[in-house]
């Protein structure tokens, strides 16, 4: 069985240097493929890669993808302000000359002393979204995230396939039970119907065998459920073929469950006997349960 569910969850942790993050992707059923992408500010360039990865892997479902930064929201990089350094050196030379004229001796300044002066050494904050390696790694990870979500949905789909297969088996058993019940009903009701029609016709005139046969045939046609049972068997075979096939089959299965329900309704309306009606009602319950599961198939 190769059914794929539209329900699934996947996460993926990554990092570059002191920048770490976690991807999360959640999927539920939907009519088409609806992507909702939530990225931190500044990571808009990664969104196109997320969309491409998801649309290339999934066919249906409402999917929410999020990215959370765990550490390394920004990196401080020291930068030398050469203009400020030159100004500080000139100021130090001027101070040294003035002190010498006044007969004062000043201790020489070291490079470390100069770097401690305000404005000489500046700190520049670099955001992760400005880090090309971070962006490249995140972009590459979108394919792995989509694959993990696909695998999670495949696991759910396998469970769905087993459940739907069991429900189809139950419907097949009920169809056979309905066929046997309908045949038994026809056998016991044929003589009774003939007697009732004869009684009605006898009350007005002599029994016309041709008319009697016509009336009985009409009643039998209206009560016959053979076509409904044959179509139900065909639907069971078609559904089994779908769940054993390849590719997205959710829409086809959903349409097929509607056909199941239509035939079961007709069976109940034509039953004419409590035992056959009970089988039809139980069949409708199983079909409704199956349709609930089919709603989650991709």
Asked whether the predicted pLDDT for residue 287 surpasses 70, the reply is: yes
Asked whether the predicted pLDDT for residue 272 surpasses 80, the reply is: no
Asked whether the predicted pLDDT for residue 67 surpasses 70, the reply is: yes
What DSSP state is assigned to residue 172?
Answer: H
| Tokens linked to 287 | 């079909």
Asked whether the predicted pLDDT for residue 286 surpasses 60, the reply is: yes
3-state secondary structure of 256: helix
- State how far the Cα of 132 lies from the Cα of 93, in Å rounded to an integer: 43
| Tokens linked to 94 | 């001027």
Asked whether the predicted pLDDT for residue 201 surpasses 80, the reply is: no
Asked whether the predicted pLDDT for residue 181 surpasses 70, the reply is: yes
Q: What is the pTM of this model?
A: 0.70
> What's the longest Cα–Cα distance across the chain?
153
Where is pLDDT greater, at 41 or 106?
Answer: 41
What is the DSSP code string of 26-95?
EEE--SSEEEEEE--TT-HHHHHHHHHHHHHH-SSEEEEEEEEEEE-S-EEEEEE-HHHHHHHHHHHHHH
Burial class of 50 by CB neighbour count within 10 A (0 to 12, 13 to 18, 19+): buried
What is the DSSP code string of 174-220?
HHHHHHHHHHHHHHHHHHHHHHHHHHHHHTTS---HHHHHHHHHHHH
The CATH code of the domain at 8-72+130-153 is: 3.30.230.10
- State how far the Cα of 186 lies from the Cα of 219, in Å rounded to an integer: 11
Q: What is the pLDDT of residues 97-151, one digit of tens each?
A: 777 788 787 777 787 776 677 776 665 444 677 788 999 999 999 999 999 999 9
- Structural domain spans, the chain: 8-72+130-153, 75-126, 156-294
What is the pLDDT at residue 247?
85
């Amino acid at each position: 069985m190769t059914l794929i569910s539209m329900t699934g969850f996947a996460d993926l942790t990554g990092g570059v240097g002191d920048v770490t993050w976690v991807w999360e992707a959640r999927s539920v059923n939907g009519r088409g493929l609806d992507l909702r992408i939530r990225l931190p500010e500044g990571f808009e360039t990664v969104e196109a890669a997320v969309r491409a990865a998801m649309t290339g892997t999934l066919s249906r479902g409402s999917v929410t993808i999020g990215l959370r930064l765990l550490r390394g929201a920004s990196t401080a990089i020291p930068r030398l302000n050469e203009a400020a350094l030159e100004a500080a050196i000139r100021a130090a030379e001027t101070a040294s000359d003035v002190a010498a004229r006044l007969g004062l001796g000043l201790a020489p300044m070291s490079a470390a002393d100069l770097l401690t002066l305000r404005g000489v050494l500046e700190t520049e904050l670099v955001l992760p979204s400005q880090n090309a390696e971070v962006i490249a790694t995140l972009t590459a990870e979108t394919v792995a995230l989509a694959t993990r979500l696909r695998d999670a949905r495949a696991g759910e789909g396998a469970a769905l396939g087993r459940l739907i297969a069991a429900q189809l088996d139950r419907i097949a058993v009920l169809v056979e039970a309905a066929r046997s019940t309908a045949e038994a009903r026809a056998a016991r009701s044929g003589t009774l119907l003939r007697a009732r029609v004869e009684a009605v016709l006898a009350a007005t005139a002599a029994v016309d065998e041709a008319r009697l046969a016509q009336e009985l045939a009409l009643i039998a046609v209206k009560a016959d459920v053979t076509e409904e049972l044959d179509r139900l068997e065909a639907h069971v075979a078609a559904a089994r073929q779908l769940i054993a096939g390849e590719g997205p089959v959710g829409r086809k299965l959903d349409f097929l469950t509607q056909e199941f329900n239509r035939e079961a309704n007709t069976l109940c309306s034509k039953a004419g006997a409590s035992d056959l009606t009970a089988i039809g009602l139980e069949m409708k319950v199983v079909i409704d349960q199956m349709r609930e599961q089919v709603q989650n198939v991709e």
